[in-house]
Amino acid sequence: MIHLKHLSLACAIAASCISYNTFAQTANNPLLQALTPVTDEMLRNPPAADWLNWRRTYDTYGFSPLDQINTDNAANLTEAWRVPLQPGSNTPTPLVHDGVMFLLTTEDTLLAMDASSGELLWTYKHQTDTNAQPSAKVGIALHGDLIIMPTNDIHMLAINAKTGELVWDTAIEGARMGRRGHQLHATPLIANGMVIQGVTATMVPEGGFMVGLDLQTGAEVWRFYAIPRPGEPGDETWNALELSARSGGSIWMPPSYDPELDLVYFGTAPTYDTASLLNKVDLPGITNDGLYTNSTVALRSRTGELAWHYQHVANDQWDLDWTYERQIMQVPVNGVMRKAVVTAGKMALFDALDAATGEYLYSLDLGLQNLIASIDPVTGAKTMNPNAAPVAESSQFVCPFAAGGRNWQASSYNPDSKVLFMPIAQMCMIGGPLGGNSILSTGASLTPAPFPDREGEFGRLQAVNMETRELLWDFREMAPPTTAIVATAGDVIFGGMLDHSFKAINANNGEILWQTSTGDIPASYPITYMANGKQHVAVVVGQPTIHAGTFMGAVTAMTGGAEGPLGKLQSQGPALIVYALE
């Protein structure tokens, strides 16, 4: 096991040691010399040993074809090496190519390491504007010899992967900094010569947007606004509000991409200014649906042209986003295989849409929500229960909790077995009444409450056969999941939980094969890769988001407080941890 073996690494993780660019001994490093350019074909069909993209492939499966670690030997996993990291909120995804690992940690610091040992190869630190608000980021993107990196001060950077030198720096025009400003949370997507980046806008007037930048120069080529501008289609869905009075439509998560159709798919968040949409104005042709909130949007990669959109739930009053991964898969519909975009929002309710047209195909409910009474089998339009909107007089029991039955912790899909693995938090809330202290402008409170008949079980991992739509096994425990899921061809899936545990689980039956305590909350996107002939599993711990903090407070209160299992945990601090077989 290697613990901070290299002095240069110690400096890299301590803010006082980092100069803006550190290019230590890169010229003669054999790993960096051997680093090959990442091609379009590699992104379409990644080498089995590498993890080149946020969820490894454009279709966001989070699946690896590696099987050196399997159900027979996963119990022999052990910590191979650990690198301490800077504190802060983050949800990083390490990327690995040709035995080199790249990781965007906090304070706009990018690390290149030997993926077999953790030895530091180079460091790049962006000189961030002092007015910038730190933001949790999903990670980076690779193409050619470039690493594309978003920053806290809303710049997009291209860094040379071999040297750590800056190639170009583009500030996103019109973006606002500050506590209620824009942020770059999502990983960039590289597609068709473009860098495609989502921008969040939690309470920023005029809302979030997606930009397309030229990969070679960083110049902005197109922009798509998640809230329609006056006169555009969808303008009539904003309850006659002026553009400056509209907010929301944040793009929190990275897109997926279909090279065959040349379509980029992403999801949008609702608005926190729910009061302005609560009651519909009495004007002809005006609705309070609020496009393109809670929608799947499909754009052309080179132009940003809207190909289609589908709104999963209109006028969301409980912050139950549909902004998560869009997985592209073949599914049977009425006996015919269809290429579909499949996604689930916080309600853990799946909608499947035709990938080319956006036509509604079907829904699949995992049983965590009590807001939707019925779904039209042709259009997918949802008929809502009365508790779908807060009222002035009383509180209501709403499932799931506003932090989500599922959230940014992405699911994983095994294309061989056709099984999807979804990490779930089982919790409801007492919503309302109006006029209290809340993140929502209606003032409706969002107070955590136990899920009916599941007290003490807040965590769930659900296996779903996506061909038969059958719910297979589920694994339940006290602690909710706090990482994405990684599935492998070895029939082992990996994931981390709020109680600091990291587990290898049998994909066939949900049995625990191996588990360990990481020493802190594993709130990130784990990966698996090959280096020096060994399969490794990497996860970042100790950089938790507001989501993990919210669940830590809620679950701790419901499981004995300071004397309960979560209350007694001792955090050891942020680190990148890598596991391998003994």
Beta bridge partners of 63: 487
Could you tell me which of 359, 310, 493 has the C-alpha nearest to residue 414?
493
Query: What is the number of residues in the chain?
Result: 582
The amino acid occupying position 468 is T
pLDDT at 12: 46
Quote the pLDDT of residue 178.
Answer: 82
Q: Is the peptide bond before 400 cis (omega within 30 degrees of 0)?
A: yes
CATH of 2-581 among 2.140.10.10, 3.40.1180.10, 3.40.50.970, 1.20.1530.20: 2.140.10.10
Give the count of alpha carbons within 13 A of 368, CB side only. 32
Return d(Cα 226, Cα 421) in angstroms, integer. 29
CB 394 within 8 A of CB 444: no
Q: What strand order describes the sheet that includes 306-311?
A: 256-258, 263-267, 295-300, 306-311
One-character DSSP codes across 269-302? ---S-THHHHS----TT-----TTTTEEEEEETT
Q: Are 212 and 170 in contact (CB under 8 A)?
A: no
Structure tokens, 455? 């007290």
Instruction: Quote the radius of gyration of the chain (alpha carbons, Å).
Output: 23
One digit per residue, the tens of pLDDT, for the chain of length 582 reads 334 333 344 444 443 333 334 444 565 799 999 999 999 999 999 999 999 999 999 999 999 999 999 999 999 999 999 999 999 999 999 999 999 999 999 999 999 999 999 999 999 999 999 989 999 999 999 999 999 999 999 999 999 999 999 999 999 999 998 878 999 999 999 999 999 999 999 889 999 999 999 999 999 999 999 999 999 999 999 999 999 999 999 999 999 999 999 999 999 999 999 999 999 999 999 999 999 999 999 999 999 999 999 999 999 999 999 999 999 999 999 999 999 999 999 999 999 999 999 999 999 999 999 999 999 999 999 999 999 999 999 999 999 999 999 999 999 999 999 999 999 999 999 999 999 889 999 999 999 999 998 788 999 999 999 999 999 999 999 999 999 999 999 999 999 999 999 999 999 999 999 999 999 999 999 999 999 999 999 999 999 989 999 999 999 999 999 999 999 999 999 999 999 999
Q: Are 108 and 152 in contact (CB under 8 A)?
A: yes
pLDDT at position 27 = 57
CB atoms near residue 37 (< 10 Å) = 13
> Could you count the other beta carbons within 10 Å of the beta carbon of residue 540?
29
Is residue 367 classed exposed, middle or buried when 0-12, 13-18 and 19+ CB atoms within 10 A define those classes?
middle
- Residue 155 in contact with residue 171, Cβ under 8 Å? yes
Q: Which residues pair with 425 in a beta bridge?
A: 459
Please report the pLDDT score of residue 25 as a whole number: 53
Q: How far apart are CA 301 and CA 310, in angstroms?
A: 18
CA distance 63 to 106: 26
